[in-house]
Amino acid sequence: MTDTFEVMRDAMPVLMKGLQMTVLITIISLLIALVIGLVFGLFSISKNKVLRAISTVYVNIIRGTPILVQILYIYIGIPAVTDLRFSAFAAGVIVISINAGAYLVEIFRAGINSIDKGQMEAGRTLGFSYGETMRIIILPQAIKRMLPAFVNQFIVSIKDTSLLSVIGIGELLMSGQSIYSANFKAFEILTLVGILYFIIIYTLTLFSRWLERRMDVS
């Protein structure tokens, strides 16, 4: 038992660096995904059939293919036929961003549609353009309702980063693999990796539930 705790203790510095990489990729990706989700979310509710079609195709392709295939496609597939090359970090951020963005499209669409349509009409009556009404009146209310869903997507994206180990990114899982491949203590290291994932994900889950309660109250 003492040996087990020593192995875990010695592994913590490396695993914490891996956890930092996991969180960094997730935060950067989700910020980009929010922009993607907002743009394509607005496309999805547009009266323009072309914009709606573009949003639908994007969402269906990304949500209809495994994220592991997307990772390999961006990092290996595209460079195989073009001069375009991505570092492992850049490829990871791109994939997590476009993947999370496809799910955020539906979150934005549902959030915007949940706002009474009369508010858009009221904004236009006051002289605001469609864009101004959306930015000043509709989106602030919709985003407040969408906050718990944003946190839930953050949780999903954290889990998805574990797949980036296939392209050599030193996130949490890859850090754990590098340790137990050297000391052959797979059980201890993977247990610790699981505990670290659980702590951060469970904390975010509690935060999401708290937000949901706050939204219900307000």
| Model pLDDT, residue 1 | 56
Task: Give the CA distances from residue 94 to residues 26, 70, 174, in Å, rounded to whole numbers and listed in that order.
Answer: 11, 10, 19
| Model pLDDT, residue 204 | 92
Q: What does the alpha-carbon distance between residue 17 and residue 185 come to, in Å, rounded to a whole number?
A: 19
- The helix (H) or strand (E) run that includes residue 166 is none
- Give SS3 for 141: helix
Task: Using the CB atoms, write b or e for 179-217: b if 16+ within 10 Å.
Answer: bbeeeebeebbeebbeebbeebeeeeeeebeebeeeeee
Q: What does the alpha-carbon distance between residue 107 and residue 103 come to, in Å, rounded to a whole number?
A: 7
> Using one digit for the tens of pLDDT, what is the confidence trace for 21-31?
999 999 999 99
| Model pLDDT, residue 44 | 94
6 versus 18: the higher-pLDDT residue is 18
217 versus 17: the higher-pLDDT residue is 17
pLDDT at residue 104 above 90? Answer: yes
| Model pLDDT, residue 156 | 95
| Model pLDDT, residue 2 | 59
Residue with token string 């949780």: 155
pLDDT at residue 217 above 50? Answer: no
> Using one digit for the tens of pLDDT, what is the confidence trace for 150-208?
999 999 999 999 999 999 898 999 999 999 888 888 898 999 999 999 999 999 999 98
For residue 176, the tally of other CB atoms under 10 A from its CB is 25
- Give SS3 for 5: helix
Closest CA to 40 of 86, 108, 94: 108
| Model pLDDT, residue 121 | 83
Q: What does the alpha-carbon distance between residue 140 and residue 120 come to, in Å, rounded to a whole number?
A: 13
- Domain 2-217 is of which CATH architecture? Orthogonal Bundle (1.10)
Q: What does the alpha-carbon distance between residue 71 and residue 99 come to, in Å, rounded to a whole number?
A: 10
> Using one digit for the tens of pLDDT, what is the confidence trace for 137-160?
899 888 888 988 999 999 999 999
> Using one digit for the tens of pLDDT, what is the confidence trace for 27-84?
999 999 999 999 999 999 998 999 999 999 999 999 999 999 999 999 999 999 998 9
